[in-house]
């Protein structure tokens, strides 16, 4: 029996001018049932690229009106592998890295928020090569870079 949840494509990207530095995030959503498309961007004056990559996913998921089946497309291995491979291990190890557990996972606040959101939405991750003529990825990059630039002036 097909899921009653809406099927959503979520394209995301983050950008940072310096690392740390002014940063921007952006996402595009496409509802597969209605073909409705939305895009949004924002940023922070002092951040890192990885935080902006995570924020793009968080903002895209938060803005969905209801629990959905989400196909996430990102050019960030950090995001894709974090969600599909690492997150459960990090939580099981008390947010520590490696076998020795002597290093903290970075951006724990954002990973915890993503963990909450993946419990609301059915999430599948897909890595796409950045800057490779992928229209939605290119548009997200353009929006994220513009958002970061607003903090550089």
Known catalytic residues are 13-14, 53, 75, 131, 141
Using CA atoms, how far apart are residues 86 and 18, in angstroms rounded to an integer? 26
Cα dist from 61 to 6, 9, 28, 121, 130, whole Å:
13, 11, 11, 8, 21
Cα dist from 47 to 17, 120, 142, whole Å:
9, 27, 18
Contact 6, 31 (CB under 8 A): yes
86: DSSP letter = I
3-state SS assignment for residue 55: helix
Q: Torsion-angle region of residue 26: left (phi > 0), alpha (psi -120 to 50) or beta?
A: beta
Using CA atoms, how far apart are residues 45 and 148, in angstroms rounded to an integer? 8
């Amino acid at each position: 029996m097909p899921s009653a949840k809406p099927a959503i494509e979520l394209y995301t990207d983050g950008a940072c001018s310096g690392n740390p530095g002014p940063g921007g995030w952006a996402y595009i959503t496409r509802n597969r049932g209605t073909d409705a498309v939305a895009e949004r961007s924002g940023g922070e004056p002092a951040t890192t690229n990885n935080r902006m990559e995570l924020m793009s996913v968080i903002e895209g998921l938060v803005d969905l009106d209801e629990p959905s089946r989400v196909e996430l497309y990102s050019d960030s291995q950090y995001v894709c592998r974090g969600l599909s491979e690492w997150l459960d291990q990090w939580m099981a190890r008390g947010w520590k890295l490696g076998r020795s557990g002597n290093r903290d996972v970075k951006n724990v606040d954002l990973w915890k928020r993503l963990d909450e959101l993946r419990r609301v939405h059915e999430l599948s991750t897909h890595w796409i090569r950045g800057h490779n003529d992928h229209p939605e990825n290119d548009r997200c990059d353009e929006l994220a870079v513009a958002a970061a630039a607003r903090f550089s002036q």
